[in-house]
Chains A and B, each alone.
Chain A
Amino acid sequence: MDLSFSKEDLAFRDEVREFLATSLPADVKDRCDRGLHPTKEGQVRWQKILNEKGWMAPNWPVEYGGTGWTFTQKYIASQEFGHASAPIATPFGVSMVGPVIYTFGNQEQKDKYLPRILNSDDWWCQGYSEPGSGSDLASLQTKAVRDGDDYIVNGQKIWTSYAQYADMIFCLVRTDSSVKQQEGISFLLIDMKTPGITVKPITVIDKEHSLNEVFFEDVRVPVANRIGEENKGWTYAKFLLGNERTGIARVARSKRQVERLKEIAKTELSGGRPLAEDTDFNNKLTRIEVDLMALEYTELRYLSMIASGKQLSAEPSLLKIKGSEIQQRLTGLLVESLGMYGAPYEAERAYEGRNEAPVGPDYAHGPMAEHLYLRASTIYGGSNEIQRNIVSKMVLGL
């Protein structure tokens, strides 16, 4: 056991810092810091900068374009990214479907999609959930029927994040209804421009359009776009969900938000004194900070286990549960720090054409939006109730 950094690690840290200081666009940083949804243009611009540096996919094997960083270097990079409010790459391509493709895809698929993911040429979205199949994902109904070299896909996906931006969607579809639910699912990569696909926007409670319904009507998908074997999609889907659960803790970003909150608390007043001197406020902030530290070291401990070749069961679920709860508490406290200036938040949609500055102090623009949106963090990626079910079953044997 050792927590110290080597000389090389420190040099690496300086390199990351230098890169972020010179290369992170100010507008992209600003949105990330405030907790606003990225714009597609800004996100892609940033990801292309990352890719030019060779840092788009730290978790990929080197042969596919990964960085080859040690687990310590990955930690250092994520800390520095978080501290600088540098957005992480949109997960759907690089963190979700990318690993599925290089682990289970064929050579042609790897050659075709992986470079385009690295260079952000394709924006991917995730077509898992359906109206009748959320927590019970395996019950999904979207059907794919074989017709020569194609599948014909019919059905509906819902809660599809950023589908309006997407060039590609990875989809779970039912290819066999006669067997146990989990054994009749396949994993398809579908071009969003294929005739028969309709995307309908869903406005979220933060008044932003980040979710969609995606309808499939006789959509022809080449069989060549199937990952792995027919009816083995559930294996790939679960592999992907496992990856999704680790990234979701967002420790480094939460650490930055703690710093931000401390800055705000120096300016805001409570009882005529800086909010930073308010005992109740400080207690809440300190509890979050200590919880966050415990989460950070839990994540590191797990990552170290993985790096040393140990097998984890459902432990990463803990990271998702704790990480999302901390994010919610943190944005809740950020909103609280604003007093009544938390209330005026309107999505920028509503500001379009008005060209006015945000209401209240500049830092009041963002926290409420994020607070509203992050109610979803305990719902998406497998709800926290489902995660607790998993831990209770897999880890505790209940």
Chain B
Amino acid sequence: MDFELSDEQNMLKDSVERFVKDNYSAEARAKLADTELGFSRDHWKKMAELGWLGLPFPEEVGGFGGTAVETAIMMENMGSGLVLEPFLSTVILGGGLVAEAGNEAQIEAIIPQVIEGNMMLAFAYAEPQSRFDLNDVETSATKSGDGYVLNGHKAVVYHGTTADKIIVSARTSGGSRDESGISLFVVDNNSDGVSRRDYRTIDGQRAADIKLENVKVGADALLGEEGAAFPVIEKVVDQAIAALCAEAVGAMQAANNITNEYLKERKQFGTPIGKFQVLQHRMVDMYMEAEQSKSMSDMVAMKLDLDDATERRKAVAAAKAQVGQAAKFVGQQSIQLHGGMGMTDEYSIGHYFKRLTTLEMLFGNTDYHFKKYAALAS
């Protein structure tokens, strides 16, 4: 057993740290979040040059062949700067699904483009009624000639606006909550019948509700076996959850550092407020939550590539539950300890709070994962 990073991993960490330091000052981030796009295409190009967009893909397709540990290193450090580029949506989710389920032609058509930074992806899985259940899919895909016709409504698709291609989960058979009968399709974002409602989310990112009305796709749009996509989706979403846990750890650590500094600087009653014991203890609790989360995030990164799917799912559910409740606590208390200053949008701490708030929700909130763990562990 070893929780230490290798030399190579340390190099990756340093390089992401440097990127964040150079490009993600609080002011720069706020400016970027306020642009129409919500992130920077230049940053994206830079990430491609640094090889990051190929991080988890096999070397045969031009990737870096990294494991979940490398992804976690990357995400943790991006989390500390609240990086806005759609790495998770494009590389981990979209790229992950294609790499996992795609045939040779699909992989070749998409993954190198992703790695070079020429193609962005998004994963449209949630629906208005589905909450966090990946198996709750009402969007339908009906066979028609050589291909399929898609109809349905996908909700809160992160980075659905800027994705060139959207990976859509749709039902080819079965009842609306059956695990079997779900298929994945690669859909061009500008296809006829795709209409989007684009919007900003509270964490400074972009998302969209996507309506599919008689969207025609060819047989080559089907990713993997028809009706058998659920285990693939679950596996890739587990990878995304692990990545989000790492992002949350980075964000919590940064929020704690900012708050800790503030407690030393801010004076009231003639003394730094960090001298008040009630705030000291609160800060210790925040620190402990971040530490516990870091351990769970490391644990899940190391367990993610296990063949035993139940073990993997348990690890993921436990990690997300811990990280979720910690994210809430740290985010909210960071605001509290800043007083009025924490409420201003101009100051960075509120942005950490808001991202930690959505991280708690994404891919299942704390309650959802406690329930899931309980079901798996019983």
Report yes or no: B344 in contact with A375, Cβ–Cβ below 8 A: no
Residue of B nearest to A209 (CB): B345
Question: Which of B59-67, B128-136, B286-294 has 4 or more CB atoms under 8 Å from chain A?
Answer: B128-136
14 residue pairs from A and B, CB less than 8 Å apart? A134-B268, A134-B339, A135-B273, A135-B339, A136-B268, A136-B269, A204-B345, A205-B344, A280-B371, A341-B155, A356-B197, A359-B156, A379-B340, A379-B342
Chain B 180-208 interface residues, beta-carbon cutoff 8 Å to A: 197, 199-203, 207
B: which residues have CB within 8 A of A? Answer: 126, 128-133, 136, 155-156, 176-177, 197, 199-203, 207, 209, 267-270, 273, 276, 278-279, 328, 332, 335-336, 339-340, 342-346, 350, 353-354, 358, 361-362, 365, 367, 370-371
Name the B residues within 8 Å of A271 (CB-CB). Answer: 131, 133
CA distance A139 to B267 in the complex (A): 11
CA distance A328 to B270 in the complex (A): 30
Task: Write the nearest CB–CB distance from A192 to chain B, whole angstroms.
Answer: 21
A interface, CB within 8 angstroms of B: 129, 132-136, 139, 158-159, 202-205, 207, 211, 268-272, 280-281, 328, 332, 336, 339-346, 350, 356, 359-361, 368, 372, 375-376, 378-380, 383-385, 388
* Residue in A139, A204, A339 whose CB lies within 8 Å of B344: A204
Query: Which of B131, B276, B332 counts the most chain A CB atoms within 10 A?
Result: B131
Query: What is the chain A residue whose CB lies nearest that of B363?
Result: A340
Closest Cβ of chain B to A79, distance in Å, is: 30
**B156–A205 touching, CB < 8 Å:** no
With both chains docked as a complex, state the minimum distance between the C-beta of A33 and any C-beta of chain B, in angstroms.
21
Assembly CA distance A135 to B269 (angstroms): 8
Do B343 and A204 touch across chains, with their CB atoms under 8 A apart?
yes
Cα(A340)–Cα(B358), bound, Å: 8
Q: Give chain A residues whose Cβ lies under 8 Å from the Cβ of B209.
A: 359-360
- Taking CB atoms, residues of chain B closer than 8 Å to A342 are 361
Give the chain A neighbours of B273 by CB distance below 8 A. Answer: 135
Q: How far is the CB of B160 from chain A (nearest CB, A)?
A: 12
> B10: shortest Cβ distance to chain A, in Å?
34
Contacts of A269 in B (CB 8 A): 129-131
Q: How far is the CA of A231 from the CA of B17 in the complex (A)?
A: 54
Which residue of chain B lies nearest to A375 when distances are taken between CB atoms in the complex? B335
Known: A272-B133, A376-B343, A379-B339. A343 touches B155 (CB 8 A): no
Residues of B within 8 A of A202 (CB): 344, 346
- Say yes or no: B362 contacts A340, CB within 8 Å: yes
Min Cβ gap A225→B in Å is: 27
A204-B345, A272-B133 as given contacts; A344 in contact with B340, CB under 8 Å = no
Other than the known A136-B268, A346-B200, what 7 A-B pairs have Cβ atoms closer than 8 Å?
Answer: A139-B269, A139-B270, A205-B342, A205-B350, A360-B128, A372-B202, A375-B343
Contacts of B354 in A (CB 8 A): 205, 372
CB-CB < 8 A to B136: which residues of A? 272
A355 smallest CB distance to B (angstroms): 13
Contacts A205-B343, A346-B199, A375-B332: A339 and B132 contacting too (C-beta < 8 A)? yes
If A135-B268, A203-B344, A272-B177 touch, whether A343 touches B156 (CB-CB below 8 Å) is: yes
Q: Quick one: closest B residue to A354, CB to CB?
A: B199
Which of A211, A270, A368 meets B131, CB within 8 Å?
Answer: A270
List chain B residues, Cβ under 8 A from A132: 267
Contact A340 to B202, CB < 8 A, known contacts A359-B209, A375-B335: no
CB-based contact B353/A375 at 8 Å: yes
Contact B156 A336 (CB under 8 A): no
Measured in the bound complex, the distance between the Cα atoms of B363 and A339 in whole Å is 10
With A344-B199, A385-B279 as given contacts, are A129 and B340 in contact (CB-CB < 8 Å)? yes
Across chains A and B, which 8 residue pairs bring their CB atoms closest together, nearest first?
A205-B350, A340-B156, A136-B268, A203-B345, A339-B131, A343-B201, A159-B340, A280-B367
Q: Within the assembled complex, what's the spacing in Å between the Cα atoms of A368 and B209?
A: 18
Partner of A341, one of B156, B268, B335, B362: B156
Chain B residue, CB-CB nearest to A270: B131
Report the minimum CB–CB distance from B5 to chain A (whole Å). 33
Within the complex, what minimum Cβ distance (angstroms) separates B59 from chain A? 35
Contact B207 A344 (CB under 8 A): yes
Are B207 and A343 in contact, CB atoms less than 8 angstroms apart? Answer: yes
Q: Which residues of A contact B371 (CB under 8 A)?
A: 280
Question: How close is B158's CB to chain A, nearest CB, in angstroms?
Answer: 9
User: Measured between C-beta atoms, what is the minimum distance from B351 to chain A in Å?
Assistant: 8
Chain A residue nearest to B371 in the complex (CB)? A280
Contact A340 B155 (CB under 8 A): yes
A361 to B276 CA separation, bound complex (whole angstroms):
44
Residues in chain B near residue A332, CB distance under 8 A = 328
Known: A268-B131, A344-B207, A375-B353. A207 touches B343 (CB 8 A): no
Using Cβ atoms and an 8 Å threshold, which residues of chain A touch B346? 202-203
In the assembled complex, the Cα of A350 lies from the Cα of B365 at a distance in Å of: 27
Q: Which residues of B contact A356 (CB under 8 A)?
A: 197
Residue contact B202 to A345, C-beta cutoff 8 Å:
yes
In the complex, A133 Cα to B136 Cα: how many Å?
A: 53
A395 to chain B: closest CB distance in Å?
17
Given contacts A280-B367, A340-B362, contact A385 B340 (CB under 8 A): no
A25 to chain B, nearest CB (A): 29
Cβ–Cβ contact A350 & B200, under 8 A = yes
Cα–Cα, bound, A359→B206 (Å): 13
Q: Residue B353 contacts which of A159, A203, A205, A340 (CB distance < 8 angstroms)? A: A205
* A309 CA / B96 CA spacing, docked (Å): 71
Interface centre among A339, A341, A356, A372 (most CB of B within 10 A): A339
B335 closest partner in A (C-beta): A375
The complex places the Cα of A388 from the Cα of B336 at a distance, in Å, of 14
CA–CA, A379 to B199, complex, Å? Answer: 30
- Using known A-B contacts A356-B197, A372-B354, A388-B278, determine if residue A211 contacts B339 with beta carbons closer than 8 Å: no
| Whole-angstrom CA separation of A281 from B267 in the bound complex | 40
Contacts of A133 in B (CB 8 A): 268
